[in-house]
Structure 1
Amino acid sequence: MREFLTLILMLLLLTSNKTYLLFLYQAKLALDSLEVPVGCVIVEGGSVIAAGKNWTNEPRNATRHAEMEALDVLKEQWQRTGFSAAEVAEKFSAYSLCVACEPCLMCAAALSIIGT
């Protein structure tokens, strides 16, 4: 499995838009940490502004999915800037999210709530 994911990552990195493929790198990092290989990046204007990978086994916390990890990175950034809830929703609705698989119900709900 690891060799297959590495091969796919190498092939996809040859494409023109590498920014959006960084979620695969996050998935590989998760796999290397003996986690389910799911990675997520949040992109604004062609630049990755947050990234996350599955991190459930080590902390024994089933809620630490890649999307939640990436959202926590954004949350820390937003807290430093002092954005209001309306500003957060406006900014978040302009971002692109790239994830290695379809978000689960928990992550989909969190993403939906932030964008409203």
Structure 2
Amino acid sequence: MVADMHAGTLPERMGIEFLEATPERVSGRMPVEGNTQPYGLLHGGASVVLAETLGSVAAAIHAGPGRIAVGIEISATHHRSASSGHVTGVATRLHAGRTLATYDIEISDEQGRRVCTSRLTCILRDR
């Protein structure tokens, strides 16, 4: 169901695959290949797209039917580079209220080393 929501969108073009999806936690992975900057390293913006995608999906699930989640703030710290394979992100709920939801997103490489830490806040509103 989550994958169907993203048909023809940026997450699909970037190769993001969802692994788990609940209101408390959403995980997914993305290939490094095709999402790099000119030096062959994972583009920082690609990490941010993965983070916002995972956090927004979790917030949308929390919001429930007939409501949407829209990102209003995101931050990211890039800890190390990745040059091959996949990176995996896990969005974990920090706060889920009636109008705002905030998630921490950790992105790691295939060796389990943290590549990026991000925080996303979404506003929840009626469709």
Q: Same fold (TM over 0.5)?
A: no
TM-score by length of 1: 0.30
Quick check: which one's helix share is greater?
Answer: 1
If asked which structure has higher relative contact order (CA below 8 Å, sep 6+), I would say 2
TM-score by length of 2: 0.29
